[in-house]
């Protein structure tokens, strides 16, 4: 019997790697879209500026 025949676990590895990559891609996409929505509509008050004001 040749040793180069793929086994069940060898055939599952690319599928698992593809599934993990897809899940990570979806999670990153959701986080980016969520961040955009929070920045756009989340703050009821205007965001604080990074510029420091001088005290009088």
Q: What was the pLDDT predicted at 13?
A: 84
Q: What was the pLDDT predicted at 5?
A: 60
- Residue whose pair of structure tokens reads 């969520």 in the numeric block: 34
Q: What was the pLDDT predicted at 56?
A: 65
pLDDT over 90 at 42, yes or no: no
d(C-alpha 49, C-alpha 17), whole Å: 43
Length of the chain equals: 56
pLDDT tens digits, one per residue of 43-54: 655 555 666 666
Number of Cα atoms under 13 Å in the Cβ half of residue 47: 9
pLDDT tens digits, one per residue of 11-34: 668 889 999 999 999 999 999 999
């Amino acid at each position: 019997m040749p040793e180069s025949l793929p086994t069940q676990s060898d055939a599952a590895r690319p599928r698992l790697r593809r599934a993990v990559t897809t899940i990570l891609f979806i999670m990153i996409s959701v986080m980016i879209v969520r961040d955009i929505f929070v920045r756009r509509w989340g703050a009821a008050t205007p965001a604080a500026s990074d510029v420091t004001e001088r005290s009088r």
